[in-house]
Amino acid sequence: MFLNALKYDEKDISNCGFLGFVNRDRKRVTGESIIKGIAAQRERGNGLGGGFAVYGLYPDYPHLYAFHCMFQFEEAKKKSEEFLQAYFNIENSGEIPTRSTPQIQNSPLHWRYFLAPYREKIKKTETEQDYIVDKVMQLNKHIDGAYITSSGKNMGAFKGVGYPEEIGEFFRLEEYSAYAWVAHNRFPTNTPGWWGGAHPFVLLDFSIVHNGELSSYGINKRYLEEKGYECTMQTDTEAVAYLLDLLIRRHQLSVEMVLEIFSPPYWKDIDKMDPNKKTHYTNLRKIYGGAMLNGPFSFIIGYERGLIGLADRLKLRPLVVGKKDATMFFSSEDSTISLLCPDAEKIWRPRAGEPVYGFYYQ
All structural domains of the chain, each given as residue ranges with its CATH number in brackets, are: 17-359 (3.60.20.10)
Name the amino acid, one letter, at 296. P
Is the pLDDT confidence value at 8 over 50? Answer: no
| Cis geometry, peptide bond prior to residue 200 (ω within 30 degrees of 0) | yes
User: Which residues, 6+ apart, have CB-to-CB distance to 94 below 8 Å?
Assistant: 111, 112
Is the pLDDT confidence value at 28 over 50? Answer: yes
Q: What is the pLDDT of residues 323-354, one digit of tens each?
A: 999 999 999 999 999 999 999 999 999 999 99
Percent of the chain clearing pLDDT 70 (strictly above) = 96
Is the pLDDT confidence value at 44 over 80? Answer: yes
The strand pair at 180-185 and 206-212 is best described as unpaired
Average pLDDT over residues 27-53: 96
In which band, very low, low, confident or very high, does the pLDDT at 362 lie, cut at 50, 70 and 90?
Answer: low
Separation of alpha carbons 155 and 57, rounded Å:
5
pLDDT at residue 6 in the model: 41
Task: Please report the sign of the dihedral spanned by the C-alpha atoms of residue 136, residue 140, residue 146, residue 148.
Answer: positive
Separation of alpha carbons 183 and 43, rounded Å:
15
- 245 backbone dihedrals φ, ψ, rounded to 5°: -65, -45
Is pTM, for the whole model, over 0.85? yes
Is the pLDDT confidence value at 9 over 50? Answer: no
Average pLDDT over residues 12-37: 90
* Average pLDDT, rounded, for the chain: 93
- Residue 60 half-sphere exposure toward CB, CA atoms < 13 A: 5
The residue among 362 and 293 whose pLDDT is bigger is 293
Residues with catalytic annotation? Answer: 16
User: Which residues, 6+ apart, have CB-to-CB distance to 14 below 8 Å?
Assistant: 187, 189, 211, 212, 213, 296, 317
Is the pLDDT confidence value at 7 over 80? Answer: no
Percent of the chain clearing pLDDT 90 (strictly above) = 91
**Rounded (10°) CA dihedral 299, 206, 48, 312:** 20
